[in-house]
């Protein structure tokens, strides 16, 4: 069984790597260079799919948190942990690509534009999620508190979105996409999603494994011997 899993895993990562390679080809050789921004615009192909996957990861985290609270099954917690970690990773990518965009387009590494601010707050919300988890020793408690915070954090996301829309958007970021660019953009969802899913599953399985190891390490103390009475009239 382990053998099959390992082969599957290797196969999966090879496919993912190939998908990225193809994507790079598309970016560099297929999609035209955008006239006003030049080469840096191309990080948008990574930026948008990452942003979508970030949101989906946190959505699954929300579901996992609710799942844990209602069923108290540990695998929900393992899933919540995996999706949050990958979500934070993806969100970092979104932030960085967003900042690179901003630096190239408007000469500043940081602007308090709605989109960037939103990404930053999202990132902070879930970094805190990971920190809350890491500050609790007890496994059951950690899962419980993580679930509570995870639910509150996700409920916050639409409110963050609405509130940043109130902020002045001095740098609107809509761009014209030529057909080839649209294809490239659509394609890039594949490698990013493959990578995200792969990382989530890998982390999830690692969580499940370390939980199983910990469980087996609990030595079941020898069954206490209920002693019998010799003689006596107890029947």
Partner 1 sequence: MPLAQSVKTTTPAVIRLAKLGKTIDDRPILRELDFEVASGEFVAILGSNGAGKSTLLKILATLTPPSSGELHLFDQKIDRTTASIRARIGMIGHQSMLYGELTAKENLHFFAKLYGVKSPSSRANEMLQTVGLLDRADDPVKAFSRGMTQRVAIARALLHDPQLLLADEPFAGLDEASSRSLEGLLSLLNQSGKTIVLVNHDVRQTLALARRVMVLRAGRKVIDALAGELTVEIVLDAMNGAVLARPVGADIGADVRPEGPVQ
Partner 2 sequence: MTPAIRQFITLIGKDLRIEARSRQTLGLVVVLGLLIIVVLGLGLGVQNNVPGVSATAVLWVAYLFSGVLCFEKTMAVERSDGVLSGLLMAPMDRGVIYLAKLTSNLILVFAVAMVVTPAGVLFFGFDLSAAPLTFATIMGLSIIGFTSVGTLFSAIVSSTRLQGGLLAMMVFPITLPLVIASTQMMVQTFRDRNPVGVSSLGILFAFDLIFLTASWLVFEFVLEP
Interacting residues toward partner 1 by CB under 8 A: 138-140, 211, 214-215, 218, 220-235
Asked whether the beta carbons of 194 and 18 are under 8 A apart, the reply is: no
Residue 144 binds to partner 2 (criterion: CB under 8 A): yes
Residue 135 binds to partner 2 (criterion: CB under 8 A): yes
Q: Nearer to partner 2 by C-beta: 17 or 128?
A: 128
| Contact region with partner 2 (CB under 8 A), list: 75-83, 95-103, 137-145, 198-206 | 137-145
Could you give the dihedral angle defined by the CA atoms of residues 228, 230, 234 and 235, in that order, rounded to the nearest 10 degrees? 90
Could you give the CA distance from residue 88 to residue 122 in angstroms, rounded to a whole number? Answer: 9
Inter-CA distances, 131 with 91, 181, 188, Å: 16, 39, 31
Of partner 2, partner 1, none, which one does residue 201 interact with (CB within 5 to 8 Å by kind)? Answer: none
Residue 152 binds to partner 2 (criterion: CB under 8 A): yes
List, as one string, the DSSP characters of 139-207. Answer: HHHHHHHHHHHHHHHHHHHHHHHHHHTTS--SS-------HHHHHHHHHHHHHHHHHHHHHHHHHHHHH
Least distance (Å) from partner 1 to the CB of residue 225? 5
Size of the site for partner 2 (CB under 8 A): 29
Asked whether the beta carbons of 127 and 87 are under 8 A apart, the reply is: no
Q: Nearer to partner 2 by C-beta: 42 or 133?
A: 133
Least distance (Å) from partner 1 to the CB of residue 149? 19
Tell me which residues touch partner 2 (CB under 8 A). 69, 117, 121, 124-125, 128, 131-132, 135-137, 141, 144-145, 147-149, 151-153, 155-156, 159-160, 162-164, 166-167
């Amino acid at each position: 069984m382990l053998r099959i899993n390992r082969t599957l895993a290797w196969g999966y990562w090879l496919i993912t790597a190939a998908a990225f390679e193809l994507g790079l080809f598309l970016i560099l050789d297929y999609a035209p260079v955008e006239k006003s921004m030049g080469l840096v615009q191309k990080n948008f192909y990574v930026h948008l799919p990452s942003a979508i996957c970030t949101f989906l990861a946190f959505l699954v985290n929300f579901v996992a948190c609710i799942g844990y609270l209602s069923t108290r099954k540990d695998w929900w917690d393992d899933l919540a942990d995996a999706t949050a970690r990958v979500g934070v990773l993806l969100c970092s990518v979104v932030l960085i690509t967003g900042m690179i965009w901003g630096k190239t387009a408007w000469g500043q590494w940081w602007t308090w534009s709605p989109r960037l601010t939103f990404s930053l707050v999202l990132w902070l919300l879930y970094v805190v999620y990971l920190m809350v988890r890491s500050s609790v020793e007890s496994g059951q408690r950690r899962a419980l508190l993580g679930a509570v915070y995870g639910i509150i954090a996700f409920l916050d996301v639409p409110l963050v979105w609405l509130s940043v829309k109130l902020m002045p958007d001095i740098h609107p970021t809509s761009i014209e996409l030529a057909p080839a660019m649209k294809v490239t953009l659509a394609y890039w969802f594949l490698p990013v999603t493959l990578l995200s899913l792969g990382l989530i599953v890998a982390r999830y399985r690692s969580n499940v494994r370390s939980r199983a190891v910990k469980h087996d390490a609990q030595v079941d103390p020898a069954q206490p011997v209920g002693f019998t009475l010799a003689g006596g009239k107890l029947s």
